[in-house]
Amino acid sequence: MILITGQGVISALGVNVNENWAHLQQEKSAIKKGIQSFSSPYLVGQIELSNEELKQLAQVDGDYSRTALLGMIAARESFASHEIHPEIRTGFISGTSVGGMDLTEGEYKNYLTENETDRLETYKQHSSGIAAYQIAQLLGATDFINTISTACSSAANAIMLGARLIENNQLDRVIVGATDALSLFTISGFRSLMIYDSEWCAPFDERRKGLNLGEGAGFIVLESEKSQKITQSKVLGLLSGWCNASDAFHQTASSPDGQGAVLSMQGALKRANLKPEQIDYVNAHGTATPNNDLSESHALKQIFKEIPPFSSTKAYTGHTLAASGGIEAVFSLLAIEHQCLLPNLNFQNPIEETGLMPVQKLVYEQNIKHVLSNSFGFGGNNSSIIISKY
Amino acid sequence: MYFIHKASSINCQKAYQHDNIFRDLITPEDYLMLEEVDYKSLIPPAALRRMSTILKNSLCAAHQLKTEQDFDAIIVGTGLGCLQDTEKFLKTIHISQTETLSPTAFIQSTHNTIAGQISLALNNHGYNMTHTQHTFSFEVALMDAMQAVDDGMNQVLLGAAEEYIPFLDRLSDVVIPHDYPLSQGVSFFNISKTPAQIGITSIQFFNFKNPEEIRKVIHDTHADLLIYNGAKDESIHVKNQVNISQFTGFYLSNSAFAMHVGYDYLKNNPLANKVIIWNNLSQNHQSILVIERK
């Protein structure tokens, strides 16, 4: 049994779990016009703190990428009730898609357009594994350090790897999740693919045009039962299922029938030993791109005879890329803790082809035992995890 | 147990489809000169035109290791990923005055383009993973491959890949101090629980640990050959030692090629039983990988 004994999150909704939960209850999107020069023409889910303010919040000083700082804040919150213990092998697995790109892209501009006046020291933060070393050292969780980079499924894959390392007795406890900062690189990237919505994104809606990017980090702590007996940490839930599968259809687009998504959901259900009808809520990937939401809808219809309540929370936070599966793992834990269904904001009309209706209002007094959370990335990288009530 | 069934590398050595690589290691004149490979026989020309060096080489190496059975897992480690396309897209967004940007470079810039393209080329629906952990990128991928075998996946494609761009030369002294010229390369392996001659015994990570601890592990292992990639440690007394960076040049996952060389050494030297691959590129993060004749 893999126990979840910690959670931490920073997103446009707030800098910790409490702020995120408070904002979720207001049923209002945190996506707004960007405040940085590169983000100002667009709608983004940004954290309205400068890097200097983030350093104060993280209680660190020195050269760090924004990606690392966001990761430090969320990972530290998740591990706050924990201590390093000589008998407990503790690891740290992060995920990121941009790494230190938030710093690199600025310096590289100086190189290109300002007579090579870039500060070379800055590039030390570029390599995507650097943030994990910095965060792991901050927490003292250094028995295994790793970073996954599978684009938007990175966090889910970090969670999955952590669970497997505990199962195979390589670690007793591991902090898992992911972090990504907003960058010109990714905004331009999704614009070049013509899937960046200039309006507020509308997941699973017939008129959806694309995503709004966001930034943030989400981490949870996984622990073996043996380890939890020693730490006595509060159990927030169980990680009962996980699976990663490859769609092998296209480098960026999902297959029309959602084959990879079907495989990952099936695999996670099998691993959790659950029947589809036992899933009480699906936190969908739901990026609001025409392709993803249609493909995911088809996949949901193949898995579930009767579609369970489902929603995408990306209309709240924006699509936080690698971090999304970490942030949404925390949201799934909140749905279990508060026995509620989270709404899919900005929804008006179902996709004609599939007719699926997501949850539109926050509803309490539900009986939520098992939550399925999907994360699908570039390269046809599909991951599903199942979080269950303890 | 984790057995190595086949290996395939492309870098500045004579390694691709060669046997006895260890014997034939030479200090290259040009570390950036990749061994010539017939890409066209393996990759469709239209796809090939759009592909960066790292993608072409990774796909070739992966094709070389294909078996009749589909891979259950494709696991790749890369320190800096697809740098050619990353730089290309950075240039586009900073210089291009037009509203419409070409997405190709962006699409191919993410680290998991490599494993993703392999899954597409092989039409593979299995576990697909990409790891990036600076100088440890190969080792963490290897750790995942070992878990995959333990989880019951029998055919695992494990690889590491790195790409050079001239921009890296500017960062040489400040960001990436190194004793040998910057270079690039890919190494891929078939890992399986089906018995073979040579297998992986263990991988140990030492994050922020004392060098004494590492020396002790190396001495206690009694290996026939020690392959390392960072600075020579005079207090380590293993008779047969090789610095792989002398032959490959410096790239973040060149310890993967060290495993290929160690595997090749054991295959061709029947009296040798054990090889240590000591990744000491970084001071704070080192690992010891042991491969052995089974």
- Tell me which residues of chain B have a pLDDT lower than 70: none
Is A303 within 8 Å of A276 (Cβ atoms)?
A: yes
Residues A54 and A194 grouped into a single domain: yes
Residue A72, domain extent: 2-231
Q: What is the DSSP letter of B174?
A: T
- For the domain spanning B2-192, the CATH number is 3.40.47.10
Cβ distance of A150 and B129 shorter than 8 Å: yes
- For the domain spanning B198-293, the CATH number is 3.40.47.10
* B166 shares contact with chain A (CB less than 8 Å): no
Cβ distance of B125 and A133 shorter than 8 Å: no
The pLDDT of residue B100:
80
Is A210 within 8 Å of A194 (Cβ atoms)?
A: yes
Residues A82 and A202 grouped into a single domain: yes
Residues A111 and A158 grouped into a single domain: yes
The pLDDT of residue A68:
98
Is A376 within 8 Å of A153 (Cβ atoms)?
A: yes
Distance in angstroms (rounded) separating the CA atoms of residues A56 and A59: 5
Cβ distance of B205 and A128 shorter than 8 Å: no
Using CA coordinates, name the residue in chain B closest to A169: B147
- Partners of residue B113 in chain A, C-beta under 8 Å: 251, 378-379
Residues A265 and A203 grouped into a single domain: no
First-to-last C-alpha distance (Å) of chain B: 10
Residues A28 and A119 grouped into a single domain: yes
Give a yes or no: residue A16 inside a domain: yes
Closest CA to A375 of A313, A303, A315, A316: A313
Give how far A364 is from chain B: nearest CA, Å.
Answer: 37
CATH number at residue A361: 3.40.47.10
Residues B260-272 as b or e (16 or more Cβ within 10 Å = b): bbbbbbbbebeeb
* B134 shares contact with chain A (CB less than 8 Å): yes
Across residues A103-126, what is the average pLDDT? 95
Give the end of a domain, one of A231, A254, A287.
A231
The pLDDT of residue B177:
80
Residues A350 and A378 grouped into a single domain: yes
Is A193 within 8 Å of A272 (Cβ atoms)?
A: no
Residues A255 and A224 grouped into a single domain: no
Using CA coordinates, name the residue in chain A closest to B177: A124
Helix, strand, or coil (residue B168): helix
Residues A16 and A155 grouped into a single domain: yes
Residues whose CB is less than 8 angstroms from the CB of residue A310 and which lie 6 or more positions away in sequence, other chains included: A281, A282, A283, A284, A300, A344, A356, A358, A359
Sign for the pseudo-dihedral over CA of A115, A120, A122, A128: positive
Across residues A14-38, what is the average pLDDT? 97
Cβ distance of A109 and B94 shorter than 8 Å: yes
The pLDDT of residue B25:
97
Give the end of a domain, one of A167, A198, A231.
A231
- Partners of residue A193 in chain B, C-beta under 8 Å: 103, 106-107
- Partners of residue A124 in chain B, C-beta under 8 Å: 174-175
* A124 has pLDDT over 90: yes
Give how far B84 is from chain A: nearest CA, Å.
Answer: 14
- Partners of residue A188 in chain B, C-beta under 8 Å: 89, 92-93, 101, 106
Distance in angstroms (rounded) separating the CA atoms of residues B188 and B6: 8
- Rounded to 10 deg, the angle between the A17-25 and A324-337 helix axes is 70
Give the end of a domain, one of A180, A204, A231.
A231
Cβ distance of B151 and A168 shorter than 8 Å: yes
Across residues A160-185, what is the average pLDDT? 98
At A216-268, the pLDDT tens digits run 999 999 999 999 999 999 999 999 999 999 999 998 889 999 999 999 999 99
Closest CA to B168 of A188, A104, A67: A104
Give a yes or no: residue A236 inside a domain: no
- CB-closest option in B103, B124, B131 to A248: B124
Helix, strand, or coil (residue B44): coil
Residues A129 and A268 grouped into a single domain: no
Domain count, chain A: 2
* B177 shares contact with chain A (CB less than 8 Å): no
Between strands A144-148 and A90-95, the pairing is parallel
At B196-243, the pLDDT tens digits run 999 999 999 999 988 999 999 999 999 999 999 999 999 999 999 999
| Fold match between domain B2-192 and domain B198-293 | yes
Cβ distance of A130 and B95 shorter than 8 Å: no
Residues A190 and A269 grouped into a single domain: no
Helix, strand, or coil (residue A341): strand
Please state the domain extents for chain B. Answer: 2-192, 198-293
Residues A266 and A210 grouped into a single domain: no
Average the pLDDT over each of A38-52, A200-214, B163-177 and give the range with the smallest value: B163-177
Give how far B270 is from chain A: nearest CA, Å.
Answer: 32
Residues A198 and A245 grouped into a single domain: no
Q: Token pair 């405040």 is at which residue?
A: A35
